[in-house]
Amino acid sequence: MKTIQGPGLFLAQFAGEQAPFDDWRAITRWAAGCGYAGVQVPSGEARFLDLARAAASRDYCDEIAGQAAEAGVAITELSAHIQGQLVAVHPAYDLAFDGFAPAALRGNPRARQEWAVDQVKLTIEASRNFGLDRMAAFSGALAWPYLYPWPQRPAGLVEAAFDELAARWRPILDHAEAHGVDICYEIHPGEDLHDGASFEMFLDRVDAHPRAKMLYDPSHYILQCLDYLAHLDIYAERIGMFHVKDAEFNPTGRQGVYGGFQSWVDRAGRFRSPGDGQVDFGAIFSKLAAMDFDGWAVVEWECCLKHPEDGAREGAQFVRDHIIRVTDRAFDDFADGGADAQANRTMLGLDR
């Protein structure tokens, strides 16, 4: 068994215009001061990282990692969530997702997609230069508008969407294979890969590609009423990353899974800071330890009530309290009387 690494903090929700969140050295010092041992870095955040330079120069990556080490944290992984989202965008979302792309590409879905693919490949190359063997991403979505359709979906619609999604990602996965980096897709509503069944549909179409892994975030399963503990048993070999994010689902006579178009604070299902929701993290950390998960426990702050800085500080201690330092011996070793093959046969009565 392996002891999970942590705590780590995903920086995407903290990057901003105000100090200490606007500068790499400052935000890493802040994260260390909150009690974190590592930070997960959004690869498109120019305040923290020059992605093209990181993909081209190991020396530059050593410099960035060295600055983090001076602050007291390691780089856990790079994230290309935003860029991965733009690999596959249904036209209904073109306007909404244009804001994620450089201004010069807005209104040009094909150019935006090409840019996104290049960004994900650069993140793969930068991960290699940082000495990291996995990265995070969203899958994007072509079929999502048809999740719960009326009128009925025409036959073959979803299959065609997943065929195209796989065709777009297969060359990227092959690029990841060439560089020794896993792509861990966050299984997330809004993405075509939003549960185990949809991940399997994708995996079938990329021939069970060895670099296609999962980012496990139980908060997204709570809100779908999916068994997030059984999910760990089913997909143990495919889970490469872990976000520690809590959630609660409290359905009423007025709303359930879909939330009635309410704001987050008024939804039946809503995200909470670690420990404030309904996720059984004790069971999750136990399962991850038993299945030899060798990655980081990374806090992703998304809470409809708590201030992010409070959530970050409390999250670090929450993870420390849940990481299981795995044992190197059995608890009943003291009672081992010793035996050999002959003694075993004698105990079984086989030599009578």
- pLDDT tens, position by position, for the chain (352 residues)? 889 999 999 999 999 999 999 999 999 999 999 999 999 999 999 999 999 999 999 999 999 999 999 999 999 999 999 999 999 999 999 999 999 999 999 999 999 999 999 999 999 999 999 999 999 999 999 999 999 989 999 999 999 999 999 999 999 999 999 999 999 999 999 999 999 999 999 999 999 999 999 999 999 999 999 999 999 999 999 999 999 999 999 999 999 999 999 999 999 999 999 999 999 999 999 999 999 999 999 999 999 999 999 999 999 999 999 999 988 877 777 667 777 888 888 888 998 7
Report helix, strand or coil for 345: helix
Report helix, strand or coil for 41: strand
284-311 pLDDT, tens per residue? 999 999 999 999 999 999 999 999 999 9
| CB 214 within 8 Å of CB 198 | no
> How many Å apart are CA 96 and CA 112, to the nearest integer?
13
| CB 186 within 8 Å of CB 149 | no
Buried/exposed code over 55-79 (b: 16+ C-beta within 10 A; e: otherwise): beeeebbeebbeebeebebbbbbbb
| CB 130 within 8 Å of CB 75 | yes
pLDDT at res. 117: 98
Residues in the chain, how many?
352
> Is residue 66 one of the residues assigned to a domain?
yes
Report helix, strand or coil for 215: strand
Work out the angle at residue 234's Cα, subtended by the Cα atoms of residues 198 and 315, and round it to the nearest 5 degrees: 90
Dihedral over Cα of 243, 75, 313, 16: its sign: negative
> How many Å apart are CA 109 and CA 90, to the nearest integer?
10
DSSP tally for the chain: helices H, then strands E: 13, 10
What are the tokens at 308?
């992010």
CATH number for the domain that contains residue 94: 3.20.20.150
pLDDT at res. 334: 67
Which amino acid is present at 239?
Answer: I
> Is residue 128 one of the residues assigned to a domain?
yes
> Is residue 106 one of the residues assigned to a domain?
yes
> Is residue 198 one of the residues assigned to a domain?
yes
Structural domain span for residue 228: 5-347
Q: pTM of this prediction?
A: 0.95
Closest-CA residue to 218 (of 275, 308, 284): 284
> How many Å apart are CA 123 and CA 42, to the nearest integer?
9
> Is residue 216 one of the residues assigned to a domain?
yes
Number of domains in the chain: 1
pLDDT at res. 330: 74
Task: Say if residue 151 is preceded by a cis peptide, omega within 30 of 0.
Answer: yes
| CB 294 within 8 Å of CB 268 | no
